[in-house]
Copies of this chain bind each other. A is one copy, B any other.
Amino acid sequence: MVRPGGRSARVQHAVHTAVRELEAEVGRDALTVPLVAARAGVTPSTIYRRWRDLQQLLSDVAVERLRPDAAPEDRGDLASDLEAWAEQFLDEMASPPGRAYIRDALLGDPDGSNAGQCSAYAAEQVGVVLARAAERGEKAPDVESVIDHVIAPMMYRILFRPGRLDASYARRLVADLLA
Q: A159, B106: Cβ atoms under 8 Å?
A: yes
Chain A positions 100 through 119: 1 when the CB is less than 8 Å from some CB of chain B, otherwise 0:
00010011000110011011
> Does A151 have its Cβ within 8 Å of any Cβ on chain B?
yes
- Could you tell me the distance in whole angstroms from the C-beta of A170 to the nearest C-beta in chain B? 12
Q: B119, A160: Cβ atoms under 8 Å?
A: yes
Number of copies of this protein chain within its complex: 2
Q: B153, A148: Cβ atoms under 8 Å?
A: yes
Which A residues, 132 to 179, have Cβ-Cβ distances below 8 Å to chain B?
Answer: 147-149, 151-153, 155-157, 159-163, 173
Q: A162, B103: Cβ atoms under 8 Å?
A: no
- Could you tell me the distance in whole angstroms from the C-beta of A40 to the nearest C-beta in chain B? 25
How long is the Cα–Cα vector from A27 to B103 in the complex, in angstroms?
23
A-B contacts, 13 listed (Cβ < 8 Å):
A106-B106, A106-B159, A107-B107, A112-B163, A115-B159, A148-B156, A148-B173, A152-B153, A152-B155, A152-B157, A155-B159, A155-B160, A159-B159
